[in-house]
């Protein structure tokens, strides 16, 4: 079809429909409202809109009949009709699949794959913090699309997990129903903000068509020996009936529900992520990620070089037993300073080492330790506790018998689960030794003698002292720490006391949860305990329907209740078998979803090789820093496994990572009162001690210098603080309310204008009103002022005249700045550049169409609804989504104005700003109009003028006239 023949099916952008809520009932951001302005009509508009020489003339519009049209009411006055524009263009994009990325793309074109971190669709829906990252990715996606890139910008749902299951238990609602409802709410909210997602690629981790491939990946892990079962200490929550990850436990209770959590050994599925530790560490160097995130991953992996050293356990008579306690240390140079050993409470040899006299106290201590998370146990600030095992071991370096203690600051999951304690050179060991009266022996002295402090432990490197033994033939006295480390390891290996060892803090990934709402494992167990992987042709193994999701009370997962599903047969041997009743953790589905977006409908393979090779890796990945370690580390691990088996072509999944900041609630003002109820200033409250606080309404507050004070009593300084948005504080802002009152474009623009993307910032209603006014000014500049009834006339104010050099200079400066700031993800300063352009354009007599069209294209990634509407009003029949993004012309970037010095009789009296090629007469006129310079010319006769264009203007006055003036 020819462009001239095309017709655009849209509600009229020029119609003056009545808003369905009055100004009085208009929803406020302070209160929740679900009021919307529906459209029950549709107009067919000819492609000849604004085809005349001036777009002040409207198009011919034929309105089709509409049933049950509401009667017209008084329209609330708006700065621009966002309530009409935004639903219309959202509907247009959806009906026309404007942002659909074809399954087969032109691979000769450059690609841009931009991805938001998978959201979990909760029942609470979005708050205004969520769209921050989504808006940033949408701006980049629209910008790259307009630059001619093939853009992949998908959205989906990480929808398995504990929250949906707990809600199901509490309400009796099936998790699937809850999940689908929550997804529907999230989807509608995201669409209301105009994000250019390819909704044809939408997926959810809960769909069998998706988790079929999650199960397939698990089978590959199992076949490579990377998935195995082991009995390990876990965080077990009896009330929730499931194992919890460390990050799901806070202060010994479950993050969800606040139920007690204990540590206990359980047989669990594990993934051998430690086999990839070196590669996960090394490949970080090639990633365009924030250095802080890479450092967090390095610390989590925790690679260290040291030695494993064996300490022989002694019997009651001091003789060596046929039992050794192996420790891992990064400081073998301090072995002569080891005055005791520490075992983790969960160490496998502990029961063999406890003496009868200590058995009861050790059992009680183990019970206490089981109620603490690993984070609590290793927290540096907490008081160190422990209990003596009753046994001793021999220090192999000097032959001394040293006590073996049990303490929870040592973890069974790190190293060997036991350490040699050197209290003179480790702060934790030092604190423990002082508490339990254990000897402290200094064996390292610093190079700088001024650092010598014989009270506090010295943890640095230096020279070795007090470290020799004739009996063991080990002498490292006088060596520096590095030399001593090497000497001790060589000695240990030659004498059979130990070996060189590289260790990691990273532990194998505990990959099982005792829940219903998760991916079933594709394995079965035969009666003899053999684990049999199911054939790939049997996938997906779908969840059975259950009505009861409550914990069994026996430690078995809820799936154990599906007896007929659990009992099965081996499809190969025909032997009786049972299914695994644990499910995979929520991390499973989010480890690889970025790959499925490349080829979401493929039922034969996880992802087509050709498509993967084109789209990989993700160019820009945007999400919160809270996922900086676990999600990103797990995804990188799975990706490397898939790389090894030839499924993917890149070593890493995400090339560039951006962490957006968080949006805090509006500033809250708090006043302090003393014990007698009198108001006191915040700066004196801490001094006085006991006081209580009360919230102060914003209207009673004013700014005074750098502080906030009471309007009625400025001597009372208030506490001003913004908090993270939460229901409990009542400071959550619902984006639906913002969209209803200000429009989606205003919300998008404000979230980008608040400050740098990566910084945290505070929400301010007055701030969104400011960007809303900017959009209103842009609209009125292009469309014109509203009519008396609040509506706007058809078309635009743009004319077909050629732009002036000044207008082109202003425009191309804006193009250059906006482009530069989008590329650098400095969206706030890009918006500032557009605001400056609008300010300048308001001073023009005319608005050339060629200039206005380019500005609309600049605005479109930020405020796409308004931009589409203005583009359409200018006579374009197609969406601007694929129009070329403007490029700055260097010729128009040159500043055409210069500062011209002005002299009177050879003496410089001031300057004027002129065009570079300004004529002499025009320059002199500017001097005559200048307040400062014109006073030298009043009543004077000008003898001559000396003018060098762009350099100087010298006005020579008649000397006689000057003398007369003096007399």
Q: How confident is the model at residue 451 (pLDDT cuts 50, 70, 90)?
A: low
Strands (E), 573-665: 576-579, 618-623, 654-659, 663-664
CA 510/CA 242 separation, integer angstroms? 13
Residue 571 has pLDDT above 70, yes or no: yes
Q: How confident is the model at residue 43 (pLDDT cuts 50, 70, 90)?
A: very low
Mean pLDDT in residue range 171-188: 93
Residue 350 has pLDDT above 90, yes or no: yes
CA 647/CA 640 separation, integer angstroms? 10
Extract the tokens encoding 101. 């990325």
State pTM to two decimals: 0.81
The string of pLDDT tens digits covering residues 130-167 is 899 999 999 999 999 999 999 999 999 999 988 888 88
CA 509/CA 221 separation, integer angstroms? 12
What confidence score (pLDDT) does residue 59 get? 32
Surface-to-core class of residue 11, CB atoms within 10 Å of its CB (0-12 exposed, 13-18 middle, 19+ buried): buried
The string of pLDDT tens digits covering residues 398-419 is 999 999 999 999 988 788 999 9
Residue 330 has pLDDT above 80, yes or no: yes
> Bigger pLDDT: 261 or 19?
261
What confidence score (pLDDT) does residue 195 get? 98
CA 325/CA 352 separation, integer angstroms? 11
Q: How confident is the model at residue 19 (pLDDT cuts 50, 70, 90)?
A: very low
Q: How confident is the model at residue 30 (pLDDT cuts 50, 70, 90)?
A: very low
Give DSSP secondary structure letters for 800-827.
-SPPPHHHHHHHHHHHHHHHHHHHTT-H
Extract the tokens encoding 709. 């004070």
- Is there a contact between 752 and 821 (Cβ–Cβ < 8 Å)? no
CA 337/CA 442 separation, integer angstroms? 6
The candidate with the shortest Cα–Cα distance to 63, out of 46, 76, 47, is: 46
Beta bridge partners of 231: 267
CA 913 vs. chain centroid, Å, equals 47
For the chain, give the percent of residues with pLDDT over 70.
89
What confidence score (pLDDT) does residue 693 get? 86
What confidence score (pLDDT) does residue 147 get? 98
* Main-chain phi, psi angles of 535, to 5 degrees: -60, 145
Mean pLDDT in residue range 839-845: 95
Q: How confident is the model at residue 381 (pLDDT cuts 50, 70, 90)?
A: low
CA 648/CA 637 separation, integer angstroms? 13
Mean pLDDT in residue range 1-24: 33
What confidence score (pLDDT) does residue 666 get? 86
CA 857/CA 862 separation, integer angstroms? 10
Farthest-apart Cα atoms in the chain, separation: 126
CA 964/CA 523 separation, integer angstroms? 111
Residue 479 has pLDDT above 60, yes or no: yes
Give DSSP secondary structure letters for 679-691.
EE-HHHHHHH---
Range with the largest mean pLDDT of 246-260, 593-607, 928-942: 593-607
The string of pLDDT tens digits covering residues 683-732 is 776 655 667 888 899 889 998 888 899 999 998 999 888 888 877 777 88
What confidence score (pLDDT) does residue 686 get? 60
What confidence score (pLDDT) does residue 124 get? 82
Surface-to-core class of residue 705, CB atoms within 10 Å of its CB (0-12 exposed, 13-18 middle, 19+ buried): exposed
CA 667/CA 172 separation, integer angstroms? 39
3-class DSSP state for residue 44? strand
3-class DSSP state for residue 151? strand
What confidence score (pLDDT) does residue 56 get? 35
Alpha carbon of 918 to those of 810, 901, 905, 927, 947: distances in Å?
A: 19, 13, 21, 13, 10
CA 641/CA 592 separation, integer angstroms? 11
The string of pLDDT tens digits covering residues 615-644 is 999 999 999 888 888 899 999 999 999 999
The candidate with the shortest Cα–Cα distance to 719, out of 686, 690, 761, is: 686
Mean pLDDT, the chain, rounded, equals 87
Mean pLDDT in residue range 463-483: 96
Give the other-Cβ count within 10 Å of 943's Cβ: 13
Extract the tokens encoding 178. 């809850």
What confidence score (pLDDT) does residue 44 get? 31
3-class DSSP state for residue 666? coil
Surface-to-core class of residue 777, CB atoms within 10 Å of its CB (0-12 exposed, 13-18 middle, 19+ buried): middle
Cβ neighbours of residue 194 closer than 8 Å, sequence gap 6 or more: 86, 89, 90, 93, 138, 744, 745, 748, 864, 865
What confidence score (pLDDT) does residue 58 get? 32
Mean pLDDT in residue range 592-603: 98
Checking DSSP bridges between strand 111-116 and strand 150-152, what pairing results, if any? parallel
Extract the tokens encoding 488. 């001790």
Extract the tokens encoding 408. 């929870």
Beta bridge partners of 260: 253
What confidence score (pLDDT) does residue 380 get? 62
Residue 212 has pLDDT above 50, yes or no: yes
The string of pLDDT tens digits covering residues 556-565 is 899 999 999 9
What are the residue ranges of helices labelled H in 824-889? Answer: 827-841, 849-859, 864-873
Residue 582 has pLDDT above 50, yes or no: yes
What confidence score (pLDDT) does residue 26 get? 32
Task: Report CA torsion sign: 255, 258, 262, 265.
Answer: negative
Mean pLDDT in residue range 653-666: 93
> Bigger pLDDT: 913 or 833?
833
The string of pLDDT tens digits covering residues 247-270 is 678 777 887 788 888 878 889 999
Residue 22 has pLDDT above 80, yes or no: no
The string of pLDDT tens digits covering residues 775-826 is 999 999 999 999 988 889 989 999 999 999 889 999 999 999 999 999 999 9
Which residue is listed with tokens 């949860």?
Answer: 513
- Is there a contact between 280 and 300 (Cβ–Cβ < 8 Å)? no
């Amino acid at each position: 079809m020819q462009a001239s023949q095309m017709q655009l099916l849209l509600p009229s952008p020029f119609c003056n429909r009545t808003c369905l809520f009055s100004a009085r009932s208009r929803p406020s951001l302070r209160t929740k409202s679900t009021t919307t302005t529906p459209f029950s009509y549709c107009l067919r508009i000819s492609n000849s809109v604004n085809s005349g020489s001036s777009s002040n003339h409207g198009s011919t519009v034929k309105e089709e009949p509409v049933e049950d049209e509401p009667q017209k009411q008084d329209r609330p006055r708006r700065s621009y009709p966002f309530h009409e524009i935004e639903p219309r263009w959202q509907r247009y994009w959806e009906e026309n699949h404007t942002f659909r990325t074809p399954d087969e793309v032109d691979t000769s074109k450059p690609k841009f794959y931009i991805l938001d971190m998978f959201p979990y669709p909760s029942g609470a829906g979005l708050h205004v913090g969520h769209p921050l990252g989504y808006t940033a990715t949408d701006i980049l996606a629209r910008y790259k699309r307009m630059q001619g890139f093939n853009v992949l910008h998908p959205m989906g749902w990480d929808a398995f997990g504990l929250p949906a299951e707990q809600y199901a238990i509490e309400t009796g609602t099936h998790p699937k129903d809850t999940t689908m409802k929550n997804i529907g709410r999230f989807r509608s909210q995201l669409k209301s903000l105009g994000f250019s997602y390819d909704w044809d690629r939408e997926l959810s981790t809960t769909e069998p068509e998706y988790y079929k491939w999650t199960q397939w990946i698990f089978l590959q892990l199992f076949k490579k020996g990377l998935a195995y079962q082991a009995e390990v200490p876990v965080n077990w929550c009896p009330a929730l009936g499931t194992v919890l990850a460390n990050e799901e436990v806070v202060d010994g209770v479950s993050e969800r529900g606040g139920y007690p959590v204990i540590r206990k050994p359980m047989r669990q599925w594990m993934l051998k992520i430690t086999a990839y530790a070196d590669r996960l560490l090394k490949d970080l160097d090639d990633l365009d990620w924030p250095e802080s995130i890479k450092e967090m991953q390095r610390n989590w992996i925790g690679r260290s070089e040291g030695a494993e050293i064996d300490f022989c356990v002694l019997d009651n008579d001091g003789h060596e037993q046929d039992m050794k306690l192996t420790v891992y240390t990064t400081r073998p140079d301090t072995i002569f300073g080891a005055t005791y050993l520490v075992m983790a409470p969960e160490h496998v040899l502990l029961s063999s080492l406890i003496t009868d006299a200590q058995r009861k106290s050790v059992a009680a201590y183990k019970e206490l330790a089981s109620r603490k998370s690993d984070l609590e146990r290793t927290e540096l600030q907490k008081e160190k506790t422990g209990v003596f095992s009753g046994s001793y071991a021999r220090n192999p370096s000097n032959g001394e018998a040293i006590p073996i203690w049990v303490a929870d600051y040592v973890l069974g999951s790190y190293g060997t689960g036991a350490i040699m304690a050197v209290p003179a050179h480790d702060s934790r060991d030092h604190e423990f030794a002082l508490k339990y009266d254990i000897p402290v022996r200094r064996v390292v002295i610093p190079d700088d003698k001024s650092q010598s402090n014989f009270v506090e432990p010295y943890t640095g490197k230096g020279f070795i002292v007090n470290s020799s033994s004739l009996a063991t033939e080990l002498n490292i006295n006088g060596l520096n720490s590095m030399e001593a480390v090497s000497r001790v390891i060589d000695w240990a290996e030659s004498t059979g006391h130990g070996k060189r060892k590289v260790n990691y803090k990273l532990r194998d990934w505990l990959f099982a949860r005792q829940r219903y709402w998760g991916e079933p494992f594709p394995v079965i167990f035969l009666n003899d305990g053999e684990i049999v992987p199911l054939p790939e042709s049997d996938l997906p193994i779908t969840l059975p329907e259950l009505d009861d999701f409550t914990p069994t009370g026996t430690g078995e997962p809820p799936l154990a209740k599906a007896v007929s599903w659990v009992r099965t047969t081996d499809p190969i041997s025909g032997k009786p078998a049972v299914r695994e009743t644990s499910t995979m953790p929520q991390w499973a589905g989010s480890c690889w979803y970025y790959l499925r977006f490349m080829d979401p409908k493929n039922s034969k393979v996880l992802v087509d090789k050709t498509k993967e090779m084109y789209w990989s890796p993700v160019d820009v990945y945007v999400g919160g820093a809270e996922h900086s370690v676990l999600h990103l580390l797990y995804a990188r691990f799975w990706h490397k496994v898939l790389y090894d088996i030839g499924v993917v072509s890149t070593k890493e999944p995400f090339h560039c990572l951006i962490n957006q900041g968080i949006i805090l609630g509006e500033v809250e003002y708090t006043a302090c009162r003393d014990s007698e109820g009198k108001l006191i200033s915040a700066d004196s409250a801490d001094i006085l001690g006991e006081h209580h606080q009360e919230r102060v309404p914003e209207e009673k507050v004013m700014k005074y210098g750098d502080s906030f004070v009471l309007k009625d009593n400025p001597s009372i300084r208030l506490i001003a603080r913004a908090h993270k948005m939460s229901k409990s504080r009542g400071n959550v802002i619902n984006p639906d309310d913002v969209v209803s009152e200000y429009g989606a474009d205003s919300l998008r623009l404000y979230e980008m204008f608040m400050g740098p993307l990566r910084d945290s910032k505070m929400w301010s209603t007055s701030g969104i009103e400011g960007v809303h006014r900017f959009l209103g000014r842009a609209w009125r500049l292009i469309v014109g002022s509203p009519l008396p009834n609040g509506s706007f006339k058809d078309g635009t104010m743009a004319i077909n005249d050629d732009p002036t050099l000044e207008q082109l200079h202003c425009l191309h400066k804006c193009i250059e700045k906006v482009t530069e700031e989008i590329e650098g993800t400095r969206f706030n300063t890009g918006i500032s550049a557009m605001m400056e352009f609008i300010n300048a354009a308001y001073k023009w007599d005319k608005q050339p169409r060629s200039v206005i069209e380019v500005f609309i294209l600049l605005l479109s990634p930020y405020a796409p609804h308004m931009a589409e509407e203005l583009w359409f009003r200018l006579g374009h029949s197609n969406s601007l989504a694929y129009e070329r993004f403007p490029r700055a012309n260097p010729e128009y970037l040159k500043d055409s104005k210069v500062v011209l010095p002005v002299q009177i009789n050879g003496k410089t009296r001031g300057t004027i700003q002129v065009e570079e090629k300004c004529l002499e007469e025009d320059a002199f006129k500017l001097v005559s109009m200048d307040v400062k310079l014109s006073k030298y010319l009043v009543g004077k006769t000008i003898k001559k003028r000396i003018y060098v264009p762009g350099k100087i203007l010298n006005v020579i006055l008649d000397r006689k006239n000057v003398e007369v003036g003096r007399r």
